[in-house]
A and B are shown apart, each in its own frame.
Chain A
Amino acid sequence: MMTLEEQVRGKKLKLHDMCLRDGMHSMRHQITLDQMVDIASGLDDAGVPLIQVTHGDGLGGSSLNYGRGLHSDSEYISAVAKVVKKATISVLHVPGIGTLDELRMAADCGAGCVHVASHCTEADVTEQHIGLGRELGLDTVGFLMMAHMTPPEHLVEQALLMEGYGATTIYCVDSAGYMLPDEVTDRIISLRKALQDETEIGFHAHHNLGMGVANSLAAVAAGADRIDGSAAGLGAGAGNTPLELMAAVGERLGIETGVDLFKLMDVAEDRVLPIMPEPPRADRDSITLGFAGVYSTFLYQAKEAESKYALSARDILMELARKKMIGGQEDMIEDTALTMAKERDLA
């Protein structure tokens, strides 16, 4: 059997930073323009090829349901576009939340790549958005979220739909941080077999079970071309794969990322860490996300409901898992807490 190192040595890998998008969740969408510009220019200087900048829930995500952004997506994207020299700015776009006009706006402001996201079984809502991404000349990615909820053969069918709509990269997204390496391997191998050779494959992890780097390596070994991570791990739940950790491990294993490791470590330490209220950690609620397979961003509102209704956030998250709630259904957190509180008070 080939060792992991034999499987990955010499591979070219694109690292994609998420701290200014997924990290927006942890920051409750309140990152300032100065912080964005400071971090993005640091990442750019460290050679990170792709930097995502959007509200945590993507274009148009600023809302009562998900939390209002301190600034609009256009302000954030324009500000970052002005300072970034080499990197491509990407945006997240979730049909049902963002509209086509918002994607046009993002392209006008300087975005060069779009992750068009849907739940892992609902790819057929992405046709218009992937189509527009291509029309606008963007690096257009199909982003299949909560991919642990569907078996590899079904994930492949959905990926083929997105590829058919024009996506040139397809992601397996572990939004709940639930997967273990074998589950990642199965999915990436299945995607690699089914998709056209020129279609790239990506993997996006959450570190809720501490598996971010391990799962990302499994993905690379299975054929992934792109890995999402966040400087200092800043992202929903226990965060994303810490990008500087992934780069360090990648360098030891001979994976070619083109990133300056020490510079990236410094961005994480000197620019990202200081803006965080607390570093992401797999606390009991984040572990619950990964253990039960719950959308990572539910963490924050579950914690709020915990203090508001004197319930346990873990109990709320377990109930949301039982009810099979998926990404986007943040409204159901308070609804579930209200119902649980009512039942408790009746008992």
Chain B
Amino acid sequence: MDKIKCAIIGPGNIGTDLLYKLLRSEVLEPVWMVGIEAGSEGLARAKELGLKTTAEGVDGLVPHAIEDGVSIAFDATSAYVHAENSRKLNELGILMIDLTPAALGPLCVPPVNLKDLAGRKAMNVNMVTCAGQATIPMVAAISKVQSVDYAEIIATVASKSIGAGTRKNIDEFTRTTSAAVSKVGGAAEGKAIVVVNPAEPPLMMRDTVYCETVDQPDQEAITASVHEMVSAVQQYVPGYQLKNGPIFEGRKVSIFLEVQGLGDFLPKYAGNLDIMTAAAARTAEMFAQDILDGRLELSPLKENA
């Protein structure tokens, strides 16, 4: 069967890890890697793996995208350049999966709302942030059982696993995550806290989720829903683990998670990057399947909405 052809923009840690995941996909085929530095290791690696590469950014891809049949592009650059990248590729009818915190398109956390995105004809889908991917499934697992007044997440990532782009734009990271905790997680109000820990050897990504339910939490139903959601995430991130909880104290529900990466390209401690690339790959696979089955037809977008 034909696979849907993809381009990756940003040959850094995330882009490269994503490339390894796409190479294993049954429905996606990575064909282009786009960078901005000719000497970049990521571009060289992609070339070795058989991809076409350009160091001229998205403008280097645009003239070839159609003839090479690219239907889906992943943006692993930064929130600031994403809008332009997206506009240029959407004009060619290429669907954009956004791994930056730009949050232009609908937010996607696969086990929570991927199915809702089918048929919406969005040409840009945003993967929130790694902290969002790790914690929002838990907020949703609780809000599904009982209304959540307030949800708060604390994500701790290893210093070595977080790139210059995220550091420079930590405010967007925090805000996009907070907004998605409520919007996608289903809490009336959301708050996100991010901590970068430099310990050596690097620590696994840790995530804590606190939710306050409107009334006394239904402990049994919430516990069951949380365990079910953990299994759903484990289907694409096998190292997603409930370390402690859920524990209950008044209206507060506390959940303590650890995310170990698959170790595709990045070390296992970088569960934060793994969950991001795995979620992006899973999202693209759903759209790819829809295209292959004739349920989805991509068309050029003239004015970026």
Contacts and interface: CB of A to CB of B under 8 A. Distances in A.
Contacts of B247: 338
Interface in A307-347: 323-332, 334-335, 338-339, 342
B196 A97 contact: no
B231 interface: no
B198 A119 contact: yes
Interface residues of B, number: 33
A328 B193 contact: yes
B175 interface: yes
Given A128-B168, A339-B243, A329 B195 contact: yes
B244 interface: yes
Contacts of B170: 95-96, 125, 128
Contacts of A72: none
Contacts, number: 93
B168 A121 contact: no
A338 B244 contact: yes
Contact of A64 (B152, B167, B174, B195): B152
A125 B196 contact: yes
Nearest to B193: A97
A100 interface: yes
A99 B175 contact: yes
Contacts of A330: 154
B49 to A, nearest CB: 31
Residue with the greatest number of chain B CB neighbours at <10 A, chosen from A95, A327, A331? A331
A334 B254 CA distance: 10
B256 A338 contact: yes
Residue with the greatest number of chain A CB neighbours at <10 A, chosen from B164, B171, B210, B245? B171
A63 B212 CA distance: 12
A63 B156 contact: no
Residue with the greatest number of chain A CB neighbours at <10 A, chosen from B154, B206, B252? B154
B74 to A, nearest CB: 25
Interface string A113-134: 0000001011011011100000
Contact of A96 (B195, B210, B252): B195
A308 to B, nearest CB: 9
Contacts of B191: 63
Given A127-B168, A338-B244, A99 B196 contact: no
B198 A331 contact: no
A100 B191 CA distance: 14
A119 B203 CA distance: 15
A267 B243 CA distance: 47
Nearest to B258: A335
A237 B173 CA distance: 31
B219 interface: no
A266 to B, nearest CB: 39
Contacts of A125: 167, 170, 196
B194 interface: yes
A326 B159 CA distance: 12
A155 to B, nearest CB: 13
Contacts of B194: 96
A133 to B, nearest CB: 13
A127 B168 CA distance: 6
10 contacts: A64-B210, A65-B210, A95-B170, A96-B174, A119-B198, A122-B196, A328-B193, A329-B154, A334-B256, A338-B247
Interface of B: 150, 152, 154, 156, 159, 164, 167-171, 174-175, 191, 193-199, 203, 206, 208, 210, 212, 243-245, 247, 252, 254, 256
Which 3 pairs, one residue from A and one from B, show the smallest C-beta to C-beta distance? A324-B199, A331-B208, A96-B194
Interface of A: 63-65, 95-97, 99-100, 119, 121-122, 124-125, 127-129, 149, 323-332, 334-335, 338-339, 342
Given A119-B198, A121-B198, A331-B206, 18 more contacts: A64-B210, A64-B252, A96-B194, A99-B174, A124-B164, A124-B168, A127-B167, A128-B170, A324-B199, A326-B195, A326-B198, A329-B156, A330-B154, A332-B156, A338-B244, A338-B256, A339-B244, A342-B244
